[in-house]
A and B are shown apart, each in its own frame.
Chain A
């Protein structure tokens, strides 16, 4: 139990579907992150939020849309995805955006058919 909870753990969707990933942290942290993890590749930072404001967007396609309604919750809205978007999507939090230790959720395994 890392204090960061992600739902759903597994998601299968077609290319025309719309779905959302949810992340909640119970650690009182100020920064939250979305990472993409593909097999045998480094973690790819997608989005960073600090105190509910987006501070970084690493050239992520617009079919991924983040939302941070408060400092404890983070969403990743998905629409018209491609099969190459199939991956493990990890949410993480840290005390601030100059990260020391990151606390990760267990991830949402996404399969795009």
Chain B
């Protein structure tokens, strides 16, 4: 079957750096997405990786290794507003999105 694994919950300190990992086993691969979802709000798109390597967008970066079935989302200079759930999703060979259960990130002062 297809599976996406990410930690259920992580805690980090304001101003620090945190890395949220995502590993996947899917039928084919056509890109990996990260979404952010604040409590009670809509998930919003953060990043997209289809080739190996690092994609940087401000304080957020996303890394992909297709050979390892692995991605991470790196958040730098953490702010309290970064407290949210982070969803990893992979687009398989049929262009279906396979979702992880999300990682709840708690930022402490």
| A binding-site residues for B, Cβ under 8 Å | 2, 4, 40-43, 45, 90, 97-107
Taking chain A's interface residues, is the majority helix, strand, or loop, or is none over half, making it mixed? loop
Taking CB atoms, residues of chain B closer than 8 Å to A107 are 42
Q: Specify which of B41, B42, B44, B100 is in contact with A42 (CB 8 Å cutoff).
A: B100
Asked if B91 is at the interface of the complex by the 8 Å CB criterion, the answer is yes
Q: Specify which of A4, A43, A105 is in contact with B99 (CB 8 Å cutoff).
A: A43
A4 to B95 alpha-carbon distance, docked (Å): 22
| B binding-site residues for A, Cβ under 8 Å | 4, 8, 31, 33, 35, 40-45, 48, 87, 89, 91, 95-102
Q: Are B42 and A104 in contact (CB under 8 A)?
A: yes
Q: Are B44 and A104 in contact (CB under 8 A)?
A: yes
Q: Are A104 and B101 in contact (CB under 8 A)?
A: no
Q: Specify which of B42, B45, B89, B98 is in contact with A90 (CB 8 Å cutoff).
A: B42
Q: A40-B102, A42-B102, A104-B42 are in contact. List 12 more A-B contacts (CB 8 A).
A: A41-B101, A42-B99, A42-B100, A43-B89, A90-B42, A90-B43, A99-B91, A99-B95, A101-B48, A102-B43, A104-B44, A106-B42
Report the minimal beta-carbon distance from B8 to chain A, rounded to whole angstroms: 7
